[in-house]
């Protein structure tokens, strides 16, 4: 009863309890200054510095708890949101956990095109997305057969659900192909499979209820998380450049919205400060140097609000 009362006074925030998103979610919570102590046997942890309760759930269940329950915020994969077909708000793509939902067939088998699988048996944990994809192929095939007038009865693809070990389904004889998430492809290749089509590209996403219990706190937490994501994606690039070259260098470093331009004691020069994507910074510095910019300095961003 005490736990129920505690939860009534707190914003409920669902995060994956295990799997490919778990560790990065913990790092994200730490960056957002959300402190908590979690018992090994409990899937609920009360935050020690904010009126928040973290609820650790399977990633596939999180859209339902956010969309239909009292959970106001959640982190899960875009694939799980699409699979659930539940009405939630996607606040921000978190930029980690990227992978693809792909159709996989035996490497030395008879199939090389998804259309060849119409009427066959498919095993997956994503039955909704898989059915949508194959129903579209079936409709296209039926239209083609009607136009050609061959009178064949339309085929229906059999979609079967399994909760794990999807890659083993072909080898164990219960499927002609599988639909599964592929990150590095190592597991797929070890099972003797190859990908022939991508159904959905996904990454982790922060989602919110349409009717949150603590909307003001939700916006604060969402802002913190956006700031942590931006801090990991960008660096701060400071440099001096001739005033006459300002239009050129601004095209090189436009910033997230706009760069900060400051006058210097030498009226022919200005100082520029701009956020630049980490993955582009070496190229950007080379271009700035080539235009005549000097004193180019790059700083890591510990945290931000964007």
Cα–Cα distance for residue pair 153/95, rounded to 1 Å: 45
Question: How do residues 227-286 score in pLDDT, each as one tens digit?
Answer: 999 999 999 999 999 999 999 999 999 999 999 999 999 999 999 999 999 999 999 999
Q: What integer best gives the mean pLDDT of the chain? A: 92
pTM: predicted TM-score of the whole model, two decimal places:
0.86
What CA dihedral angle connects 290, 294, 299 and 301, to 10 degrees? -70
Q: What values do phi and psi take at 273, rounded to 5?
A: -130, 130
Look at residue 147 in the predicted model and tell me its pLDDT: 55
Going by C-alpha positions, the residue among 274, 267, 231 that lies closest to residue 249 is 274
Q: What values do phi and psi take at 263, rounded to 5?
A: -70, 150
Q: Which domains does the chain have, with CATH numbers?
A: 2-97+203-213 (3.40.190.10), 100-202 (3.40.190.10), 234-300 (3.30.70.120)
Question: How do residues 189-225 score in pLDDT, each as one tens digit?
Answer: 999 999 999 999 999 999 999 999 999 999 999 999 9
Question: How do residues 91-139 score in pLDDT, each as one tens digit?
Answer: 999 999 999 999 999 998 999 999 999 999 999 999 999 999 999 999 9
Per-residue pLDDT band at 40 (split at 50, 70, 90): confident
């Amino acid at each position: 009863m005490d736990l129920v009362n505690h939860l009534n006074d707190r914003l409920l925030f669902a995060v994956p309890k295990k799997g490919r998103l778990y560790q990065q979610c913990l790092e994200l919570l730490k960056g957002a200054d959300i402190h908590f102590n979690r018992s090994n046997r409990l899937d609920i942890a009360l935050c020690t510095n904010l009126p928040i309760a973290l609820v650790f759930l399977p990633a596939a269940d999180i859209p339902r708890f956010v969309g239909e329950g009292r959970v106001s915020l959640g982190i899960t994969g875009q694939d799980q949101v699409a699979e659930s077909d539940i009405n939630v708000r996607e606040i921000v793509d978190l930029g980690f956990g990227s992978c693809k939902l792909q159709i996989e067939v035996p490497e030395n088998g008879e199939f090389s095109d998804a259309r060849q699988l119409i009427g066959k048996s498919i095993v997956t944990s994503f039955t909704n997305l898989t059915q949508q994809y194959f129903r579209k192929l079936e409709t296209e095939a039926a239209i083609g057969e009607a136009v050609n007038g061959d009178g064949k009865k339309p085929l229906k693809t059999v979609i079967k659900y399994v909760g794990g070990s999807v890659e083993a389904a072909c080898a164990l004889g219960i499927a002609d192909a599988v639909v599964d998430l592929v990150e590095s492809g190592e597991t797929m290749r070890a099972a003797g499979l190859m990908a022939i089509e991508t159904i959905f590209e996904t990454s982790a996403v922060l989602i919110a209820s349409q009717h949150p219990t603590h909307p003001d706190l939700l916006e604060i937490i969402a802002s913190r998380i956006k700031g942590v994501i931006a801090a990991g994606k960008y660096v701060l690039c400071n440099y001096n450049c001739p005033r006459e070259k300002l239009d050129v260098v601004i095209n090189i470093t436009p910033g997230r919205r706009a760069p900060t331009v400051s006058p210097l004691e030498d009226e022919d020069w200005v100082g520029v400060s701009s956020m630049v994507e980490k993955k582009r910074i070496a190229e950007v510095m080379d271009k700035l140097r080539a235009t005549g910019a000097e004193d180019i300095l790059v700083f890591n961003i510990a945290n931000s609000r964007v």
